[in-house]
Amino acid sequence: MSVTPLWRRVVAEGIGTGLLVTVVVGSGIAAAKLSPDDVGLQLLENAFAIALGLAVLILMIGPVSGAHFNPVVSAVDWWLGRRTGTGLTARDLGAYIPAQIIGAVLGAVLANLMYGEAAVSWSTTERTAPHLWLGEVVATAGLIVLIFALAASGRAAVAPAAVGAYIGSAYWFTSSTSFANPAVTIGRAFSDTFAGIAPGSLPGFVIAQIAGAAAGVGVLAVLYPQAGRAADDVVTSHTETGASK
């Protein structure tokens, strides 16, 4: 078994993250149009589409890159796997994160254009409050623990359904509606629609997500101390026979 070439994994991460943001923003626009007078129903429609879309994208992209779609997932994968020679290398990490961010921005642009909006419309939705940051810490920590617990216990095959279900439910049980992803957070700033976040709110959310990732690593150290050995299976296994570098 050998690892898929880095360039192919980077392209996959960009496409996957971009399509994820397209699902997030596009379903948010659709929800606002379909249920203009019911914010709760809009959130339900948005969350339902994201849960299903994320599961499908993991199934589609996972065999190529692992389907991280998330800088903090990639960073934790590198951090936990570095001592055992598994997971992302520092070089991989340096390529994954820019691809995820660029993909996220392009995904928001695509969603805007599909619905006849301006390609870029900076969001005016302010999301700046301590309780929202706490929500992001909880959402991100839970996501990290889930993903690496599945890999460490040999259940990475169920990650598409489990991660989709977690994000869908976290939309409702966290005060922040579970962004839990710096790249997706940045992408959502490029659309002044239902799922948007004002650029000025980005630093607080991203810092909270990093803190949540660190908290997740702490929980993993207690519950799954050997999680780093399974870093090659995060989010799903992404090795192939006969791949060429």
Task: Determine the average pLDDT of the residues in 9-28.
Answer: 98
- Could you tell me the residue ranges of all domains in the chain? 2-231
What's this model's pTM, rounded to 2 decimal places?
Answer: 0.94
**How high is the pLDDT of residue 238?**
75
**How high is the pLDDT of residue 237?**
76
- Cα distance between residue 209 and residue 75, in whole Å: 12
CATH 3.40.190.290 fits 2-231, yes or no: no
Residue 9 and residue 235 in contact, taking contact as beta carbons nearer than 8 Å: no
Residue 124 amino acid letter: T
**How high is the pLDDT of residue 162?**
98
Residues 25-72 have pLDDT tens digits of 999 999 999 999 999 999 999 999 999 999 999 999 999 999 999 999
* Among the listed residues 24, 35, 47, 57, the one whose alpha carbon sits nearest the alpha carbon of residue 191: 24
